[in-house]
Chains A and B, each alone.
Chain A
Amino acid sequence: MIDAIDYQLIAAVQTGLPIAARPYAAIAEQLAIAEQDVIERLARLKTLGLIKRWGVVVKHRQLGYRANAMIVMDVPDDRVARVGALISQQACVNLCYQRPRQGEIWPYNLYCMIHGKTRDVVLEQWAELRHACNLCEYPFEVLFSRRCFKQRGALYARPIANGDGAVPCIAGESRAEEIKNKQSFGMHA
């Protein structure tokens, strides 16, 4: 379904498309394939859903969204899909995942993220969300972010063709770049 060139293409674009008149041609040159091939492959990866979105990735914190809360909830398993779908439709939420409970030390199974300009705004949005989605009966915790130690776009391993255990080949992004980026936001796993 996806081939080695697709992986190379993802590795080539994951740190960003060049800001130049013919950006796809520049990527094509790196991979020694045609510009049209780059465009068609990206369109196909998008259609397949492997590329969830293709476009501008903003840095929330730089744009004034400095309060970031991860909210975890304990929702009965037979309701989690319905509640998750409902939460996802709310404008203030930008991620919503189910994750496994960890027994008594961490009984939560539903996670969502709210980015806001201030802590108060985020808490207000959460209060509204709880009412709008009938979440009041579920135990929850709100985890605001404090320090950001590392942040970058996801870098994916490129599989090696020898079949003998793929070695991660990470598209380079310097430590300095990571430090420069560390004030930004986002969580995509």
Chain B
Amino acid sequence: MLAPLHKRLLNDYQQDFPLSPTPYRDIAEQLGVSEDEVLNAFQTLSEQQMISRIGPVIAPNSIGNSALVAMAVPEFDLPRVAELVSAYPEVNHNYERENRFNLWFVLIADSEIHLKAVIADIESQTGYPAMLLPMLADYFINLGFELNLHD
């Protein structure tokens, strides 16, 4: 399904995408293909929604304040609450999970005060309490995501 070139592009450039004036040409040279092939392959991966972007992953809490937030919402009311939460520009991810705490979202704000204000607003808008779970320590060192694309 995925061409060998696509697999290499997906797996090998998650950490250190070239920081040079012509990064796609550098990749092409490394992989022994043409620059156009690399550009076309990335375009395809992007159109097919296999990559979100070529860009930065920012270290948590290095810019602004972020926190994971959990809410226990009755099943019948989940669509309303989820939509309300998703509408905040400060919310990046918003998932339903299988648990009594069934709504989990990530908030990023420019300060702790702003973050707490948004949570207070969400609680009053939805009528349910929110559990604030800021990160205390990040233990992860292996970066990126190794894909098994052989099957």
Q: List 30 A-B contacts (CB under 8 A).
A: A10-B56, A14-B58, A15-B55, A16-B55, A23-B24, A42-B19, A46-B19, A53-B16, A56-B9, A58-B14, A58-B147, A62-B49, A63-B50, A88-B140, A97-B138, A99-B134, A99-B136, A106-B70, A143-B101, A145-B95, A147-B82, A149-B94, A155-B92, A157-B63, A166-B111, A187-B68, A187-B93, A188-B57, A189-B60, A189-B93
* CB–CB A154/B92 < 8 A: yes
CA distance A58 to B10 in the complex (A): 7
Smallest CB gap from A40: residue in B:
B19
Q: Which residues in B have their C-beta under 8 angstroms from that of A19?
A: 24, 39, 42-43, 46, 54
* CB–CB B63/A156 < 8 A: yes
* CB–CB A51/B139 < 8 A: no
* The 8 nearest A-B residue pairs measured at CB: A16-B53, A84-B139, A55-B17, A157-B110, A189-B106, A189-B66, A150-B94, A150-B86
Q: Which residues in A have their C-beta under 8 angstroms from that of B48?
A: 62
Interface size on B, residues (CB 8 A): 82
CA distance A22 to B53 in the complex (A): 16
**Cβ of B20 under 8 Å from chain A:** yes
- Partner among A35, A52, A98, A187 whose Cβ is within 8 Å of the Cβ of B137: A98
CA distance A181 to B49 in the complex (A): 8
* CB–CB B90/A52 < 8 A: no
CA distance A20 to B36 in the complex (A): 9
Chain B interfacial positions (CB closer than 8 Å to A):
9-10, 13-17, 19-25, 35, 39, 42-43, 46, 48-60, 62-64, 66-68, 70, 82-83, 85-86, 89-99, 101-102, 104-111, 114, 131, 133-147, 149
Instruction: Give the size range of A's interface with the partner.
Output: 35 or more
Given contacts A88-B141, A150-B94, contact A57 B99 (CB under 8 A): no
Q: Which residues in B have their C-beta under 8 angstroms from that of A42?
A: 19, 56
Q: Which residues in A have their C-beta under 8 angstroms from that of B136?
A: 97-100
Given contacts A22-B21, A149-B86, contact A189 B108 (CB under 8 A): yes
CA distance A157 to B139 in the complex (A): 25
CA distance A88 to B139 in the complex (A): 6
Q: Which residues in B have their C-beta under 8 angstroms from that of A139?
A: none
**Cβ of A151 under 8 Å from chain B:** yes
* CB–CB B52/A186 < 8 A: yes
